[in-house]
Structure 1
Amino acid sequence: MLAGIADALLLTDAETTHLHELVGTARKNTATHDRTVRASIMALIDRLPGTVGVVLSAAFEILARNDLALALLGDPADATPADRNLARRAFLPEVARKTRSDVADMTEFRHHVVSQLRTATARYPNDPAIRDLVAELRENSDDFDRLWQRHDVQPKLIITKTFQHPEVGPVTVDCDTLLLPDRDQQLVLFTAKPGSHDAATLELLHVITTGSLTTS
């Protein structure tokens, strides 16, 4: 029946999945989202030369990252889990100011965050971390609240991002997201075209951070 409704309404795959989650016919809801990262995934991102690797929770908290991600995104010594949440960085200026690099255009990412948090609230309706995060963002960000009221669950395709880094300047990277369905997490990889100026900038940033060249 739901499939027929989805077809009649011309819903996208993401919207159809969200419909099933809302009525409880998708996978069984768990109380809270998983924040533990598989050791194999942590080892993987550490072995990717010239690649920024980040693991995000269903609530957009940075759970793990490699050295190059740390160099690009920053992590203040007094950073809290709230500071490491990319949804808060995207919508709350007081959190964004603690970030080492600014993103040139946050429009697409903000749309992506809102749509993914909406589906996360359907998967984890009793998770206080997700519920409180959404409430905080709706209260403190007019942009978030406006996007939230659109009820959009279609994720945005984010192909490139340009970071403004205080030490090495602008760097434009391709952004690819790989889903880790067993723990409902995202592996986000930022790469630059081999031989490009941006690849050289990432290499410079790696040298500044670790004091060594990457090896293939």
Structure 2
Amino acid sequence: MNRDAFAEFLRARRARVTPAEVGLPEGGRRRTPGLRRQEIAQLAGMSIDYYIRLEQGRGPHPSRQVLNALARALMLSQDERAHLFHLGGQPLESPLIREDVPESLLHLISFMEEVPAYVLDARYDIRAWNPMASALMGGLESTEPGQRNVIRWVFMSPELAEHLDDEEKGRFARASVADLRAAAGRYPDDRALRALVTEMLALSPHFAELWATHEVKVRREQRKRVVHPVVGVIDTICQVMPVPDREDLRLVLYTTEPGSPSHQALRELRQLTLSS
């Protein structure tokens, strides 16, 4: 159990919940945002002393029953609840990140000839991709293996994230950090993941600022505006799909609205891959 990280997460989430959201009166002026410690303890059905010790990083190892009660009191989402359990030493899944990609998945993305597709692991390393993904993102095959990390692109190498416009980079930065924090909770013993977080905290003030918010949210579907140097602006639907039996991998697909200018731009990009 990481007591310090557990305590920080409790404090950050408590500050986010308002009295009105849990049916409590405002009770006059509050010195700090969110609920008071006593209110969380009451909602979770535990003593105020016990809760204070948890927030101070000196409480006992919480049981699953306690973690469930805290998740309800803090109004945690499904992703945040899983993160709380991992920080509390009660992981909901096996903490293992592998570096292989199933052959069936490689075949699948190769058959997607008109859709940019790649395989992303929990560390945000791109493990495999098809020609359309490489064309969209600027030549993945020519990038050093150690540099095919999307987190490093966004925060440390803007030239490698040129396929996103500036506004999109801001939204993606926040979403990716929230997702990475969820992964750090699921895989607390993964050295490479811990090293990535340590590196980014030291080198990127923007990353450190977002990391300090303790936002936890697994990425799923979102819309992205991609700017390609040849075919122009492409408004895509970025679908992030879990891989069956491999919780550490996700399949990322870029699709467009049928018949839209962006759909036509993707078709033009497809022609470029065929002629190159």
TM-score, length-scaled by structure 2: 0.70
Partner amino acid for 2:138?
Answer: G
1:7 is aligned to 2:72: yes
Structure 1 residue 141 displacement after superposition? 1.2
**Partner Cα distance (2:170, 2:86) in 1:** 27
Does 1:137 pair with 2:200?
yes
Aligned 8 A contact 2:126 2:148 in 1: yes
Q: CA deviation at 1:156?
A: 5.7
Asked whether the equivalents of residues 75 and 99 of structure 1 are also in contact (C-alpha less than 8 Å), the reply is no
Q: Secondary structure at the match of 1:179?
A: strand
1:170 alignment partner in structure 2: 233
* Equivalence for 1:103: 165
CA RMSD of aligned residues (A): 2.0
Whether 2:220 is the aligned partner of 1:154: answer no
Alignment check: 8 A CA contact 1:108 1:158 kept: no
Structure with the greater alpha carbon radius of gyration: 2
Moved over 4 A (4+): none
The corresponding residue for 1:89 is: 153
Indicate whether 1:114 and 2:177 are aligned: yes
Distance 1:76 1:159 in 2: 22
Q: Deviations over 1:72-128 (max 9, x none)?
A: 002366522232111111111xx2314562334212211121112112222222322
Letter in 1 for 2:120: L
Q: Flag the 1:63–1:76 CA change in 2: closer, same or farther, 3 A.
A: closer
Cα separation, 1, equivalents of 2:141 and 2:119: 20
Q: Which runs of 5+ in 2 are unaligned?
A: 1-64
User: Partner of 1:145: helix, strand, or coil?
Assistant: helix
Q: Do the aligned residues in 1 keep the contact of 2:179 with 2:219 (CA within 8 Å)?
A: no
Distance (whole Å) between structure 1 residues aligned to residue 103 and residue 162 of structure 2: 27
Higher-RCO chain (CA-CA 8 Å, sequence separation at least 6) = 1
| TM-score between the two structures when normalised by the length of structure 1 | 0.88
In 1, Cα distance between the equivalents of 2:240 and 2:104? Answer: 17
Change over 3 Å in CA distance of 1:125–1:157 after alignment to 2: closer
**Percent of aligned positions with the same letter in both sequences?**
34
**Relative to total residues, which structure has the larger helix share, 1 or 2?**
2
How many pairs does the alignment contain?
208
